[in-house]
Amino acid sequence: MTIMVTGGAGYIGSHTCVELIEAGHQVVIFDNFCNSNIEVVRRIERITSAAPVVVRGDVRDRDLISATLAKHRCEAVIHFAGLKSVAESVSHPLLYYENNVLGSMSLVQAMQDVGVGKLVFSSSATVYGDPVFLPLTEDHPKSPYSPYGRTKLVVEEMLTEVAQSTNRFKIAILRYFNPVGCHVSGLIGEDPLGVPSNLMPFIAQVAVGRRPHVNIFGNDYNTPDGTGIRDYVHVMDLASGHLRALEHLSRQDFIQVNLGTGRGSSVLDLVQAFSKACGKDIPFVFSARRDGDVASYYAATDLAHKLLGWRATRKLHDMCADTWRWQSRNPNGYGIVPDQVSA
Ligand code: NAD
Ligand code: UFG
């Protein structure tokens, strides 16, 4: 089938495009390239020997989306396009509501205009907020603590109501835990603009010499080694979760599912695993806790297994080894001139 992938040039989208193409689907990447590089499309082609269609456009442009869906006879949409920086969402909340909420609304309206009903939406474990209990099951209370997280929850609620109002839509909401790693070829990977705010790309840039050391935000949490615990999930496992979710929509009209491993790893676990994968020491310093961080969270994975038959299979070592292959072969990512190196 032909699938429109909004944000398909981004980190998770590009890996999912590879998975979809390798499963025999045709892909139409719809992206405004505000946080991605066109080079990724050539890399997807090198991996899969198939050239995805690329449409440069904004998800807020309802007419362009409907025209693209109709022109390419798309049967489903996977919606990654959006902004994702927690810190930026605090300083620019309207930008986030406009991109993430209005963008999703105009996408769904465009789908309705042309009668395309299958939708997989990228949500986030951030919708749960501070854990009341662990592991986080899908029915855990929702209390996001940033504008970014609230945009995800608003879109989830909008999609829930759309699904309740009609049987023309079939919707899967996927809540990702901490996506890391990259395709085993080392040809595509995570390429953040500026200083990475997430842990894995920061460690990778330290390993490759772009930054002097990792700042570990807090070593006094109530966890075994005092550093924060997260559920890191390999991006290719996430990609296969999207394929399963899409297939599942032929059997069920609406699902909300966590995609995580169910295993928590600390910041120090990740630093050590990366050090082993790249064969170098990773220098680090302990610094103050980062505002808004919680000590620990990880996913309940039973529902994903029960509904989708999906479990993450790749381990922390694979996540680090694959990231290192990408980072060491592409020290400056897709070639954007790196920012000045800073700690
Ligand atoms: P990314 O920034 O690498 O990819 C997003 C893509 O969407 C980029 O190519 C960007 O150019 C495009 N885009 C942004 N706004 C757009 C718009 N208005 N119109 C068209 N294209 C637009 O991010 P990612 O890490 O691949 O994340 C993909 C999705 O998954 C996002 O919705 C994000 O919120 C969600 N998510 C990410 C994480 C994570 O840690 N990476 C965790 C949970 C959820
Ligand atoms: N951390 C450091 N140093 C860094 C960066 C992070 O010590 O330079 C620590 C954090 O304090 C946290 C852990 O590493 O304990 C993971 O932090 P990330 O920034 O990599 O990830 P978060 O869990 O904060 O959030 C990520 C995405 C969110 C998404 C969430 C979903 O950034 O957008 O996962 O679970 F919503």
pLDDT at residue number 227: 98
Residue type, 183: H
- Mutation test of ligand 1: which of 78, 80, 92 has the most ligand atoms closer than 8 Å to its C-beta? 80
User: Residue 6: beta bridge partners?
Assistant: 30, 79
Its pTM stands at: 0.97
Contact 192, 198 (CB under 8 A): yes
Phi and psi angles of residue 298, each rounded to the nearest 5 degrees, phi first: -155, 165
Residue 71: give its domain's CATH number: 3.40.50.720
- Residue length, the chain? 343
The reply to whether 96 belongs to the active site is no
Nearest ligand to the CA atom of 98 = 1
Domain containing 268: what range? 2-340
Number of domains in the chain: 1
Element (H, E) at 79: strand 76-79
Positions of the chain with pLDDT under 70: 336-343
Q: How many other CB atoms are there within 10 angstroms of residue 99's CB atom? A: 22
* pLDDT tens per residue across span 74-92: 999 999 999 999 999 999 9
For every residue of 130-191, DSSP letters joined together read S-SSSSB-TTS-----SHHHHHHHHHHHHHHHHHHH-SS-EEEEEEE-EEE---TTSSS---
Ligand 1 binding site (Cβ under 6 Å of any ligand atom): 6-7, 9-13, 31-36, 58-60, 80-84, 99, 103, 122, 124, 176, 179
pLDDT at residue number 193: 86
- Mutation test of ligand 2: which of 293, 319, 320, 342 has the most ligand atoms closer than 8 Å to its C-beta? 293
pLDDT at residue number 221: 97
Phi-psi region of 122 (alpha: psi -120 to 50; beta: other; left: phi over 0): beta
Kindly tell me the burial class for residue 22, based on how many C-beta atoms sit within 10 Å of its own C-beta (0-12, 13-18, 19 or more). middle
Q: How far apart are CA 186 and CA 183, in angstroms?
A: 6
Q: How far apart are CA 294 and CA 247, in angstroms?
A: 34
pLDDT at residue number 194: 87
User: Helix or strand or coil: residue 122?
Assistant: strand
pLDDT at residue number 339: 38
Q: Is 217 in the pocket of ligand 2 (CB under 6 A)?
A: yes
Nearest ligand to the CA atom of 215 = 2
